[in-house]
Amino acid sequence: MNPDPNQAGNRTIMQTVNGKFFESGEAKSLPAKIKRTGELILVDIDGQPSARMLELDRVSDKLHGLSRKVYFAGGAVFETEDDAGIDELFGHKGGFVDQLNRFEGSLKWAAASFILCLVVVFGAYRWGLPLAAYAAAHVTPTVYSDILDYGTLQSLDRSVFSASELPDSERQKFQTVFEELLQTAELEPDSMDLEFRKGGIFGANAFALPGGTIVVTDELITFSETLDEVAGVLAHEIGHVTEKHSLQQIYRVAGFYLLIGAVTGDDGQLLDELVAQAGILQSRAYSREFEHDADRVSVELMLKSGRDPLAVTRLLDKVLADCGESCERTDILSTHPGMIDRKAAIKTLIEKQAQN
């Protein structure tokens, strides 16, 4: 015989919690209140003559903005907004979600979590992205790099460059120097291509594309006075290719985009603008590292080929005289190291090579 819920004997009846009661499988609720005596759960439903005794199944965790639910064996559910009453009634400590909710509600832990998040994001940005980009660049199939070269050069030819106006004999002279440097670097002659273009807004310049295409402008050739000056530039660009700097840069910027998206949870127009601006700053910050690396390769190749590794610094002197104070020192937003800083670094590299 079931005990009478209204005759609880010497059991202590705890506080009453008001809410709504749903019969098993029913969407319509009835006003009700529950109370507990020992292990017995009593449900007093409005309009019914006596309280019902039900077997407890489980109690839901506390979540901000959601009602608490008491689930009974058989499928009936009691729902209430009285979190404190449920906790007192059942001595409920909550599961993982409830603990997480309390954790988020603590200002101290919220501040600690925010700081930890900043540390993780900074670590990913400062060390994770470069390492991941380095690994990705060195496993990227050559065919993809070649496609990038072709597409980039085609685009520049349509929008910026025009055909080189250097005499064939002049281009062949520098092509020969280029092939000698590749041989010194123990690279196959067809592993890289040298292209000449009239630079337009690029002016006196040279750059390397991911697949090994190196572009030198007529203006740079005209700007130089000796063969070794251009040879030093070509050796520098060969260093960019062998160290896969262009590919690493692409992966770093792409990774930065993903990192910002993961942190903000936003992929809208505002994020696109933020990433576009931040990506520029990020690429500038990393370029100083890559330029120093390429200068190291240039010094090594020039010394091995019997050429003057300081010749490129004389070319930099001309660039410095041409562009003035804006090139003099490295600053936090400079795309390349300042010319004075860069010349000093090259001389240090030469001294180190001489000591070996």
DSSP for 302-314, please give it: HHHTT--TTHHHH
Pairing of strands 17-22, 29-37: antiparallel
- Span of 150-159, 283-292, 336-345 with lowest mean pLDDT: 283-292
Contact 69, 60 (CB under 8 A): yes
Q: What is the mean pLDDT of residues 32-40?
A: 81
Pairwise CA distance, residues 205 & 98, whole Å: 62
In this predicted structure, the answer to whether residue 329 has a pLDDT above a threshold of 70 is no
How many residues belong to the chain?
A: 356
In this predicted structure, the answer to whether residue 92 has a pLDDT above a threshold of 70 is no
In this predicted structure, the answer to whether residue 280 has a pLDDT above a threshold of 60 is no
DSSP state letter for 335: S
In this predicted structure, the answer to whether residue 273 has a pLDDT above a threshold of 70 is no
Contact 282, 256 (CB under 8 A): yes
Q: Provide the pLDDT for residue 238.
A: 96
For 37, the 3-state DSSP assignment is strand
Q: Provide the pLDDT for residue 11.
A: 45
pLDDT band at 317 (very low <50, low <70, confident <90, very high): confident
Closest C-alpha to 18, from 78, 66, 76, 91 = 78
Task: Return the residue matching tokens 């009974």.
Answer: 72
Average per-residue pLDDT for the chain: 81
φ, ψ (nearest 5 deg) of residue 160: -125, -55
Which helix (H) or strand (E) is 251 found in, with range? Answer: helix 245-264
CATH of span 17-92: 2.30.29
Pairwise CA distance, residues 44 & 56, whole Å: 15
Contact 301, 187 (CB under 8 A): no
DSSP state letter for 238: H
How would DSSP label each residue in 260-277?
HHHHH---SHHHHHHHHH
Closest C-alpha to 132, from 23, 256, 313, 45 = 256
In this predicted structure, the answer to whether residue 244 has a pLDDT above a threshold of 90 is yes
**Both tokens of residue 329?**
């020192």
Contact 71, 62 (CB under 8 A): no
Pairwise CA distance, residues 130 & 52, whole Å: 66
Q: What is the mean pLDDT of residues 187-195?
A: 94
In this predicted structure, the answer to whether residue 240 has a pLDDT above a threshold of 80 is yes
Q: Provide the pLDDT for residue 230.
A: 95
Q: Model pTM? A: 0.62
Q: Which residues pair with 88 in a beta bridge?
A: none
- Residue-wise pLDDT for 120-138, tens only, equals 877 877 788 888 889 999 9
Q: What is the mean pLDDT of residues 64-87?
A: 87
Contact 298, 235 (CB under 8 A): yes
Buried (b) or exposed (e) across 23-37, using 16+ Cβ within 10 A? Answer: eeeeeeeeebbbbbb
- Span of 134-143, 237-246, 258-267 with lowest mean pLDDT: 258-267
**Both tokens of residue 195?**
């292209």
- Span of 57-71, 300-314, 326-340 with lowest mean pLDDT: 326-340
In this predicted structure, the answer to whether residue 291 has a pLDDT above a threshold of 80 is yes
Q: Provide the pLDDT for residue 67.
A: 87
Look at 239 and 103; give whichever has higher pLDDT. Answer: 239
For the chain, what percent of residues have pLDDT higher than 90?
A: 37
Pairwise CA distance, residues 288 & 339, whole Å: 12
**Both tokens of residue 149?**
């070269």
Pairwise CA distance, residues 122 & 339, whole Å: 30
In this predicted structure, the answer to whether residue 283 has a pLDDT above a threshold of 50 is no
- Span of 109-118, 151-160, 179-188, 325-334 with lowest mean pLDDT: 325-334
φ, ψ (nearest 5 deg) of residue 77: -135, 140
Domain with CATH 2.30.29 in the chain: 17-92
Pairwise CA distance, residues 46 & 48, whole Å: 6
**Both tokens of residue 125?**
């940005």
